[in-house]
A and B are shown apart, each in its own frame.
Chain A
Amino acid sequence: MKDINRRQFLQSLSILGIGAVASGYLPIHGQDKPEDKKPDEKKPDSKLVLAVVEGKKPAEITIEALAILGGISKFVRKDSVVVLKPNIAWEKPMELAATTNPEVVLAIARECFKAGAKKVKVVERACNNPKKCFQICGFENAFNKSGVEFVHLTDDHKEYKEVKIPDGKELKSILIAKDVLECDTFINIPIAKHHGLAKLTLGIKNLMGITGGKRNELHHLLGQKMADILSVIKPHLTIIDAYRVLVRNGPTGGNPKDVAFVGKVIASTDIVAADSYACTLKPFSLEGKNISCVKAAYDSGLGEMDLSKIDIIEKKI
């Protein structure tokens, strides 16, 4: 009786073990997909369009901005996988403008589903505890039952893939989240806010949240390094949340006095153009060339910084 038990136990254990090891080699994360998923570099037919919509409701102005660009269905195909990259990096309530307004992100996610997206993922590698950020920043409440999947990236190297940067001036390779590399549409949704080192953190700086490894090593020559990263992973769409902006003590903020109400959303297919416009917002009163990330990206030919060459469509609701 006893021997059989032991044997049975060992048998089932080994079967389990083999099964567990074998399943590790199955392409669960789809690593085996061919690697031709570089973002489409299609230029819009006419002049480069930048949509700026002002209003009282974050969701409303976001949807209107998307409509000006021709609607989300231009970017999101049926049964595709969409990755949204807001800033959910800090444990601060959204009123303090350290993180992207969840209503803006939710409005975009809903539009994606309407356009037939199979899956919408929100991807972020937070600076503070990712789950606390998710709760405190108001995403947990807003996204309840929305069907959106949240990917809280960690320090685990297996979540990233090393991407070579052929034209990199400061970086030769970078770890980028697999979720982003494998998606069909990548939408960047930063918040416009102050940052001690970068002066302002906008769309380009927001891409830091999809990179792996030791990110603080990017701080030296930040602008060029971010431009190098942008050269290999260009978002299809950049939507800057400038509903509330943080003017001082960024990027974390925390003092309501440092928050200014702007009530705008800026959207464009060109990340440099969107960033460049956001610099000129009233509370900042800067220009693209003042911000190292924007300047470096422009100099590397990754987008348009000169606002006179952009078709800016402003609307107020």
Chain B
Amino acid sequence: MIYLRRIVQLLFLALFLFLMLYPEPAKNVIPANLFFISNPLLVITTIIASRTLQLAFLASGLIIIASIFLGRVFCGWACPLGTTMDLFHRLKKPRKPDIQPILPPLRRVKYFVLLTIIIAAIFGANIAGWLDPITIAFKSFALSLYPAVDYILKGLFNKVGLKSFISPLNDIGILDTHSILFHNSIIFFLILTVILLLTFYQTRFWCRNLCPLGALLTLLSKWRILNLSTGRHLCTKCQRCQSSCKTGVFNSDFSLNDEECIQCFSCVKECSKTGISIGFSKDKSVRISILPSRRGLLVASGLAVLSAPLLKRSFGLRLGQSLPRLRPPGVSRSEGEFLSKCQRCGECMKACPTNGLQPLLAESGLYAMFSPVLVPRIGNCRYYCNACGQVCPSHAIPDMDLADKQEWKIGRAYFDTTRCIPYVNKEHCLTCEEFCPVPEKAIEHYVKDGLEYPYVVKERCIGCGLCEKVCPVQGLAAIRVSPPKDAEL
């Protein structure tokens, strides 16, 4: 059974990586955002925070039903972050079995994390994406590790002249010619590193103590039918179950916290008398619940209630009036509405073929952290592309037809005539006009004394940012895109 579990785990991790690396996510038969639309935590918080329902959210029903009947099987068998932790833990030198500290107070933290997320959602703040294990895994793999591996492999193969080795991968869009990078993405790597290193202190430290999705699934599995039985009449008190358990289900007095069980079957394999089994009958072992006390919940709720306004008002910026950003095409013009739907999962950033979509850090307030923003100097919004909308799990970026997307005004380009080459150097340039992808060019020029001076035709500009990207002026471009005023839409 334990081998079956490992195979299933690896298959799910492979599926996760496959969906992540698939070059044109929209053309994949399996939805690229499968792990997100089937994630009950993200789905519930998005429904609460944005007050909208979507058909795709039904996919999360599978995990909810599985958890109600079978307990935290998702954690033990499918979660890509959990599998990564298990794999990483194998690096640890095998020592004599050690009994890991159980620490019930620490284990309650995950319920408070969940509570804070739900209460923030009630106040319209969707912050699940910061702490949800799937988004953590996706961002650290797709936005941090993948660019690093890409960089190493390309450097390695290009430098030593073995380009032909990676060109087949190039052809399917992996390790493509242009380099990808994401602002501050080392943060995602550090988060993953901390989570993985903590497994040396306790196996699955994250899952035991912090994971809000784990907390939610535990609560759902209150009346599960799959149970752990210890067969006490056979027990020799060898404590192997205690040292093998990934989530600390067995207490030293042989009572069980089996609501934490992730059905990993390690104890079943380790038990010297094979007295432990996982099945549909419930034995008479002493069971201890480590749900938080009522008082703890009340105090935490009180604090959590504060968290949403604190976040939303962080940096003194008011939602909707905070520093306007260039958001992906089609998103709500109201910053607040967009952020209530955005799960900060990073799918759009990975899907963006020009690498122009970047994660915000705190530039727009802490509340907007990890939401996507278009940085034209790095990459424009491609005229023939609507990939971000196709992969967005919560439709914070709507799935628009290409024709509609091509008319959507992300922003508007403005010339900086104190930097623009014809205006300043009196030299010919017009690179921006050449590249402008709009059929009826949004950049035109007039000729004075034999020199062409470009200007923007504001009605036609869609703010794709290609002009800003290709502007030959070093550093700050001489044409830059700003979010549009309401009057210009």
A interface residues with partner B (beta carbon < 8 Å) = 20-21, 23-24, 26, 28-29, 90-91, 127-132, 136, 152, 154, 156, 158, 195-197, 214, 216-217, 219-222, 249, 251-255, 258
Contacts and interface: CB of A to CB of B under 8 A. Distances in A.
B429 interface: yes
Nearest to B454: A196
10 contacts: A28-B161, A130-B177, A131-B177, A156-B158, A216-B431, A220-B421, A220-B427, A252-B435, A252-B437, A254-B383
8 tightest CB-CB pairs across the interface, nearest first? A254-B439, A255-B439, A24-B160, A216-B472, A220-B427, A216-B431, A197-B430, A24-B161
B384 A91 contact: yes
Contact of A23 (B160, B436, B438): B160
A216 B161 contact: no
B353 A129 contact: yes
Contacts of A91: 382-384, 437
Given A21-B160, A154-B178, A196 B439 contact: no
Interface in B426-453: 427-431, 433-441, 445, 452
B106 interface: no
Nearest to B435: A127
Contacts of B452: 196-197
Nearest to B380: A128
B159 A221 contact: no
Given A129-B354, A255-B439, A24 B159 contact: yes
A242 B479 CA distance: 34
Interface in B288-326: none
B449 to A, nearest CB: 15
Contacts of B436: 252
**How many of chain B's residues touch chain A, expressed as a range?**
20 to 34
A254 B161 contact: no
A253 B161 contact: no
A219 B160 contact: no
A137 B156 CA distance: 32
A216 B353 contact: no
Contacts of B43: none
B335 interface: no
B472 A214 contact: yes
Nearest to A21: B160
A254 B177 contact: no
B434 A252 contact: yes
Given A129-B382, A252-B435, A254-B439, 10 more contacts: A23-B162, A24-B161, A29-B161, A91-B384, A128-B437, A136-B384, A158-B158, A219-B431, A252-B434, A253-B439
A266 B472 CA distance: 34
Nearest to A135: B384
Contacts of A216: 429, 431, 470, 472
A249 B460 CA distance: 13
B328 to A, nearest CB: 18
Contacts of B427: 220
B428 A221 contact: yes
Nearest to A17: B160
A222 B451 CA distance: 12
A249 B439 contact: yes
A129 B427 CA distance: 28
Contacts of A251: 434
Contact of B433 (A131, A197, A221): A197
B150 interface: no
B151 to A, nearest CB: 14
A91 B354 CA distance: 13
B177 A152 contact: yes
Interface in B454-480: 470, 472
A112 B160 CA distance: 33
A135 to B, nearest CB: 10
A127 B383 CA distance: 13
A253 B472 CA distance: 22
Given A20-B162, A154-B177, A254-B439, A132 B382 contact: yes
A158 B155 CA distance: 13
Contacts of B434: 127, 195-197, 251-252
B384 A132 contact: yes
Nearest to B438: A254
